[in-house]
Amino acid sequence: MEIIHKIKEIVEKELSCSAHKLDHVMRVYNMCILLSEYEENVDLDILIPAALLHDIARVIESQDKTGDIDHAILGSNMAENILNSLNYKEEKIEGIKHCIISHRYRSGNEPKTIEAKILFDADKLDVIGSIGIVRTFMLAGQFGQSLSINKPLNEYMDGNTSENGRLKDVSEHTPFIEYEVKFKKIPEKLYTKKGKEIGEKRLEFMNDFFERLKLEIEGKV
C-alpha cells in the first residue's frame, strides 16, 4: 500500500537512535499483526500506521535533558501532521493518535481501544526476552551507562525521574535498574492474552540472563 510505504520512509528518516531505528518499529509492527489475529474487531487502518509512527519523536526525547519532552505526546502531534499531509481520514487519525499517546510504559495515559492495547503490548514485548537484552545494552553503550550504581535504587529513581516518569539523564541509568523497575513487571502490565503468554516466556529467559550476569560481575561463577 503506497501510503504505508510513504510512512515507513518518513519514519526511517526521523529515527537515528540506535535502539529505535526502523528495525524496532518493524518488529513492533509484526508483533501487532500477530496479536491482532487473536483479537476481534481490530481496525488495521488505525493499528498499522500507529505501529509505524509510535516512536517518531523518540530521538527528540532522547536528546532532551530536562525530562519535559514525552515522545508519546509529541509523537502523536507529529503523526497527525504526517497523516494529514498524506490525506488520511480524520476519524482514523484520532484513533492513531490515541494509540501513540498511550503506548508508553512510564505514563498515566491508559490505552482504551483494542488497537491501543495491541500496540502497547507489542512495544513492551520488544524490551524483554533476548531482543530486549540486546536493545538494553545497545542503549547502555550509546549513552555511556555503567552496569551498576553506587546509590540505593529509590534514591536514584527519585533524583533521575521527572513527574511523568521520564528519565532525566539516560546516561545515569543502567541495564540492571531497567530490569528491576520495568522489565520484571512487563507481563503483568500487558492487556492481551496472547501478549501475556509471549511476555511470560520472554521474561523467563531474561531472568536467567540477569541472574547469571549478576553472579559473573560479583565473581561468583
- Residue 127 has which C-alpha cell? 524490551
What confidence tens digit (pLDDT) does each residue in 158-187 have? Answer: 655 555 455 666 677 889 888 988 899 999
Structural domains in the chain (count): 1
The domain spanning residue 73 has which CATH number?
1.10.3210.50
Which residues span the domain enclosing 176? 2-217
pLDDT band at 149 (very low <50, low <70, confident <90, very high): low
Can you tell me the mean pLDDT for 114-133? Answer: 97
Mean pLDDT confidence for 128-155: 83
Bridge partners, 161 (sequence order): 167
> What is the distance between the alpha carbons of residues 43 and 92, in angstroms, rounded to a whole number?
9
Q: Does 145 or 119 have the greater pLDDT score?
A: 119
In the predicted structure, residue 150 carries a pLDDT above the cut 80: no
Query: 169 or 91, which is more confident?
Result: 91
pTM: 0.87
Query: What is the mean pLDDT of the segment spanning 90-105?
Result: 94
| Cα–Cα distance, 153 to 96 (Å, whole number) | 36
pLDDT of residue 203: 98
Q: Name the residue among 17, 23, 18 with its Cα closest to residue 8.
A: 23
